Amino acid sequence: MRFAIVESGGKQYRAVEGSTIDVDRLAHEVGKKFDFDRVMLMADGDTVMIGTPIVDGIKVSATVASHIKGPKVVSFKYRPKKHIRVKGGHRHQYTRLMIDFIGKPGEERKVEKPVAKKEAKVEAAAVEAAPKAEKQPKAKKEAAPKKAAAPKKTEKAAEKKPSTTKKSTKK
């Protein structure tokens, strides 16, 4: 898996081929392709290239997938005893980028899309289930005999006599 550390808007992001990253809003239209100017690090398996501060000769190209809003952040100012309450909010603007290529310009590579963990588990379960389906089902085990239920305690309750209370009379 090839990945790179790129800088955009003064922040650094880990870009993996075939995946998306959310960066601060960029002035590019949806569907436009562009290259990152600053690549700090590039790694491909055991090979790692670290820049001082940037790596020369490495290109990271991306496509603008969409412009999105982040989660709402609510700010609330409160001053007790003065009835001052100011509520405000903000939603940050992001650009979602699809990383197309990481490598040297002119290098031709087939991009492998990373498989999500849930999809990998489903595929692994399907592979394991296929050989089991070919086998004949095992005979069901006989159920163990159930234990006798304990006697209910209602018999003891019936044996109790109702209590009699003496009323005291004061004159």
40 domain residue, yes or no: yes
Q: What is the pLDDT of residue 168?
A: 61
77 domain residue, yes or no: yes
161 domain residue, yes or no: no
CA distances from 16 to 22, 82, 113, 152, 161 (A): 12, 53, 9, 67, 81
Question: What's the start-to-end Cα distance of the chain, in Å?
Answer: 99
Which of 27-31, 102-106, 143-147 reaches the highest mean pLDDT? 27-31
166 domain residue, yes or no: no
Residue 23 structural domain: 2-114
97 domain residue, yes or no: yes
pLDDT at residue 170 above 60? yes
Kindly report, residue by residue over 126-143, the tens digit of the pLDDT.
555 555 545 555 555 565
Q: What value does the mean pLDDT take over residues 77-86?
A: 95
- Coil/strand/helix, residue 74: strand
88 residue type, one letter:
G
Return the DSSP state at 122: H
Q: What is the pLDDT of residue 107?
A: 76
Q: What is the pLDDT of residue 108?
A: 72
133 domain residue, yes or no: no
Angle at 47 between CA 45 and CA 53, to 5 degrees: 120
51 domain residue, yes or no: yes
Q: What value does the mean pLDDT take over residues 157-167?
A: 59
27 domain residue, yes or no: yes
96 residue type, one letter:
R
Kindly report, residue by residue over 57-75, the tens digit of the pLDDT.
899 999 999 999 999 999 9
Rg of the chain in Å (alpha carbons): 35
The total of structural domains in the chain comes to 1
CB atoms within 10 A of CB 144: 6
Residues 36, 64 contacting (CB under 8 angstroms): no
Question: What confidence category does residue 97 fall into, taking pLDDT thresholds of 50, 70 and 90?
Answer: very high
